[in-house]
Structure 1
Amino acid sequence: MHATRALAVLLFCSAASAADPITWPQWRGPTRDGVVTGPAWPDKLDGDTLKQLWRVDKLGPSYSGPIVAKDRVFVTQTVDKKTEVVTAYDRKTGKEVWKASWEGSITVPFYAAKNGSWIRSTPAFDGKTLFVAGIKDLLVAVDGETGKEVWRLDFVKEFDTPPPEFGFVCSPLVDDTGVYVQAGGAFVKADKKTGKVLWRALKDGGGMMGSAFSSPVFAKIAGTDQVVVQTRTKLAGVDRDTGKELWAKEIPSFRGMNILTPVPVGDDGVFTSTYGGNTRLLRVTSAGGKYDTSDAWALKYEGNMSTPVVVSGHAYVLGKDKRLLCVYLRTGKEAWGTDERFGDYWSLVANRDKILALDNRGLLYLLRANPKEFDPIDKRKVAESDTWAHLAVCGEEVFVRDLTGLTAWRWTGK
């Protein structure tokens, strides 16, 4: 049943027919793993190959990646440090279609101040409704056609929990019945039509150690459809209907900095990496309804904020030390690591044997997914301000949200 529902959502969010444009409906794309299909990418990023279609400038800052529907692009921003705004732009022209807003601001702790006090989470779109997470632990459902607010869920009021010190960071995950988020000091499923809380699991109390950073993902683990989520302290599998914790494994990290999204691997593996911890593949098995977890392997390498992309059994990971590492998932052996240091953050998208990597310094890298060696193909400056928002790639179109604007690009040659 769950597999059927997930497939239906995916088909609904993606192109309904061959004639429809390719979409980017959520965090890390249509399949939530940073992997896309479609025509092979060119071998260049120069001005003759990657051309700017349009740009919207003078936007307030945001870490939310652009959400791309068939005819429009949704982006968020924080204006004057007090108001959160979501705007729909025409996908072809960049002209504003509608705008919605609400009050929303916090001040993050001083040691995180360089990362700004503005909206962080990437919305999700199910083809009809846009689900937007505001920084003050607020989830707002907005009609994608008109911008009219459908409902809002204030987790601080709902659960009487303190506001999260770092804001609402988790990006919503949607199926045909609910919206899954880490908020209100727990992992929560809300009815996507009404905003009513359906269940609340993995409670941790909120505040400094609450409202974890990582985003959930659907997976079939040990033969069971479930939602996999990494809290500030552990990695867990949760039943989608009931919120029952199926299995859990403690994942140590510095100050609960479990940031990247876990990556399901095969039928029983989950790949993750943590700040102040290590890189590991967790093995999950089930016998007689009882689950067991163990480390298939662990590598002494610290992931930071960048969720890896997996191509042909190898994970490409940008770590805390700003090096790119290629890891063979079957054994945990390091295939190679770069001497070159990059930015603090990469958003990664793979297509066939190529990877696009958007560095937070505004640099776009095109790499070969080569397990034998680091194989850069090209790079280009695509933004003058920082690019912490996740890259969106829809066929021949590439969308980049930097801290001051949104740019649509198109590959025109091969």
Structure 2
Amino acid sequence: MSTADAPAPRGWLRRYRVPIIAVMVPVIARLVMLFMERTEIGLEFYFGTLMAFQFLTMFSVLTLAVWFVFFSGFRFAVRAAGVLIAACAVAAAVGTIRKIEFDGKMNPTVRFKWEPTDEQILASHLSSAPAAQDGAVFTIGATDSPCYRGPSGNGLAPGVTLAGDWTATPPKELWRHPVGTGHAGIAVAGNSAVTIEQREGDEVVVCYDRATGRERWAYAYPARFSQSEPMGGDGPRTTPAIADGDVYSLGARGDLVCLDGSIGSPRWKVNVIADNGAAIIDWGVSASPVVVGGLVVVNPGIDPKQNANQAVAAYDRKSGKKVWANGSKPAAYASPQRVVFGGKEQVLVFDAAGLGGYDLADGAELWRHPWKTSMNMNSAQPVVVGPDRVFVSSELSNGGAVVEVRYDDAEKKWQAREVWHTRALCARFACPVVHNGYIYGLSGGLLVCVDAKTGKQVWNDGKYGDGQIVLSGDYLVISAEKPGRVVLVAADPSEFRELGSMPVFKDRTWNVPALAGNQLFMRNHREMACLELPTVK
């Protein structure tokens, strides 16, 4: 055969076009995500792009493997060596990685098998930590935080004037220790702080000494809500409520317990999922109980296969007997809260279908405003922004809006209408606050200031991830997501001013903090800490 008859060698671009395309496609998707993050353009499509990026990455790896083994044209020895190296890498990963955790933007953190487990760290701490010597006293002071998002449920911490400069006088750590896993918040009253943790196969309501962090009592019962790490991980999600010396706690599988706060013994217990014919939703029961008068109100939701129409339920907080139950909508992840619209006290519920107002007397639904989010992810707590007006927000696809609720005397019925809508503030599960006519919230990881009257964005700055915010006077105390740190920002619509920052945790921090006086109680799924914030002397 002559040289002229030999086939021409393939060009390198043609030979390697498959691996080039396989690598470039997920790279382009990642660049699009970075563009969205930096420019805030198209953020409503961010998580769709994220899921596409994850799928394309896995598909590209598979494509590269098939191409390398069957179509690359490399010698057998080269391909065999490549397969061996890949197999060793996979074996090494399986043999050394215990689990992979993710933050709100699905950025991974790897946990290795040679590191002590969270359960081992907690068990070691509990075996050696001294117990608190005095008894629990739950007398609620003017500056305490006895329930989810403070005494009024709106993220406002009253009664203390924080210092606006942490340079000369930074926050002081009073104590820290390991805790059981979960995304629960902390209730603080009297000399105690209460949270709910996952310890092995039990959910455990734990009372800690406020001054030292030492455990006073722990009430455990068999329950474990498990979820994959990309979906948030295991453990309870709610914040206990304290009232008249009793502690009300709701677990991720629906166990509502009332405990004698002085010793942690149960007064009564009911599973609100079973009691109301509901089904546990994807991320577990996340709506904290709210105490209103003689009632404790919860949002168990429904079973979509057989709707019992008991989505919102109220229990007598002394006896645990059900007083009323009503509502036909699936639960989401925000908590019931007491509000007054049109001069009438009612329970505001942000469920999977939207906003609804329920009569405290009998649970009748008074009004409804639709707000549907992908995968029912209505999570951020609505916040009242003015007379008969409430701000609601969820995922990047939805943005946020102010809804006006009023009673129409002429038509003899309640009405809810949207006043304005914005894409500037998409709170996801970072609850916003309102101060002097402006809404402050986290959107795409940035702190955003929005005019509550018009919905116009005033400014956005800072990078705090999917953290949480507490309002104290003229300051925003922000628990940043990753790494967990506390940040002080001026609640000032004229400009963004970060006044101080202090690292607290190394890991992601989603749990809602509690500010009681100048004591800031923070926790994540591994640790709990108490900081003393500087005040004006």
**How many angstroms does 1:242 deviate by?**
0.7
Partner of 2:475: 354
**Residue from 155, 171, 186 that aligns with 1:66:** 186
Q: Is the 8 A contact 1:364 1:379 kept in 2?
A: yes
Partner of 1:84: 203
The alpha-carbon distance between structure 1 residues 413 and 177, as it changes in their structure 2 partners (threshold 3 A), is closer
Cα distance in 2, alignment partners of residues 332 and 188 from structure 1? 34
List per-residue Cα deviations over 1:221-272 (Å, max 9, x = no partner): 1221111111111101111111011110101211211111111222211111
**How many angstroms does 1:93 deviate by?**
2.1
Partner of 2:239: 122
Q: Is the 8 A contact 1:323 1:342 kept in 2?
A: yes
List per-residue Cα deviations over 1:129-172 (Å, max 9, x = no partner): 11111111111111111100111111233233333332110011
- 1:210-225 aligned at under 5 Å gives the runs 210-225=330-345
Partner of 2:520: 398
1:69 maps to amino acid: A
Cα distance in 2, alignment partners of residues 162 and 336 from structure 1? 41
**How many angstroms does 1:400 deviate by?**
1.3
List per-residue Cα deviations over 1:48-91 (Å, max 9, x = no partner): 43111222x232112111111101111221012x2111111122
Cα distance in 1, alignment partners of residues 319 and 488 from structure 2? 42
> Which has the higher Rg, Structure 1 or Structure 2?
2
- 1:127-276 aligned at under 5 Å gives the runs 127-185=244-302, 186-204=311-329, 210-275=330-395, 276=397
**How many angstroms does 1:342 deviate by?**
2.7
Query: Residue 409 in 1 paired to residue 537 in 2?
Result: no
**Residue from 296, 317, 324 that aligns with 2:447:** 324
Cα distance in 2, alignment partners of residues 411 and 335 from structure 1? 28
**Residue from 27, 30, 43 that aligns with 2:151:** 30
Structure 1 length-normalised TM: 0.88
Cα distance in 1, alignment partners of residues 236 and 265 from structure 2? 20
Q: Is the 8 A contact 1:252 1:274 kept in 2?
A: no
Partner of 1:305: 429
- 1:329-348 aligned at under 5 Å gives the runs 329-338=452-461, 340-343=462-465, 345-348=466-469
The alpha-carbon distance between structure 1 residues 161 and 36, as it changes in their structure 2 partners (threshold 3 A), is closer
Cα distance in 2, alignment partners of residues 28 and 225 from structure 1? 19
Paired residue total: 386
Cα distance in 1, alignment partners of residues 400 and 268 from structure 2? 39
Farther-moved stretch of structure 1 (305-314 vs 214-223)? 214-223
Query: Residue 387 in 1 paired to residue 509 in 2?
Result: yes
Farther-moved stretch of structure 1 (237-246 vs 184-193)? 184-193
Percent identity between matched residues is 28
Cα distance in 2, alignment partners of residues 235 and 114 from structure 1? 24
Cα distance in 1, alignment partners of residues 264 and 368 from structure 2? 39
2:451 maps to amino acid: Y
2:299 is paired with a residue whose SS is strand
Cα distance in 2, alignment partners of residues 388 and 253 from structure 1? 20
1:197 maps to amino acid: K
Cα distance in 1, alignment partners of residues 372 and 469 from structure 2? 25
The alpha-carbon distance between structure 1 residues 413 and 330, as it changes in their structure 2 partners (threshold 3 A), is closer
1:75 maps to amino acid: T
Structure 2 length-normalised TM: 0.69
Cα distance in 2, alignment partners of residues 392 and 162 from structure 1? 30
2:280 is paired with a residue whose SS is coil
Partner of 1:15: 141
Q: Is the 8 A contact 2:182 2:234 kept in 1?
A: no
Cα distance in 2, alignment partners of residues 406 and 306 from structure 1? 19
Return the structure number with greater helix share: 2
Q: Is the 8 A contact 1:136 1:164 kept in 2?
A: no
Show structure 2 runs of 5+ residues with no match: 1-137, 303-310
The alpha-carbon distance between structure 1 residues 360 and 179, as it changes in their structure 2 partners (threshold 3 A), is same
Cα distance in 2, alignment partners of residues 377 and 250 from structure 1? 39
List per-residue Cα deviations over 1:295-354 (Å, max 9, x = no partner): 1111124221111010111001112x222211101111111122x4331x2221112211
1:120 maps to amino acid: R
Cα distance in 2, alignment partners of residues 394 and 179 from structure 1? 22
Cα distance in 2, alignment partners of residues 44 and 406 from structure 1? 25
Partner of 2:95: none
The alpha-carbon distance between structure 1 residues 46 and 389, as it changes in their structure 2 partners (threshold 3 A), is farther
Cα distance in 2, alignment partners of residues 117 and 38 from structure 1? 35
Q: Is the 8 A contact 1:310 1:316 kept in 2?
A: yes
What is the aligned-residue RMSD (CA, Å)?
A: 1.9
1:129 maps to amino acid: D
The alpha-carbon distance between structure 1 residues 161 and 245, as it changes in their structure 2 partners (threshold 3 A), is closer
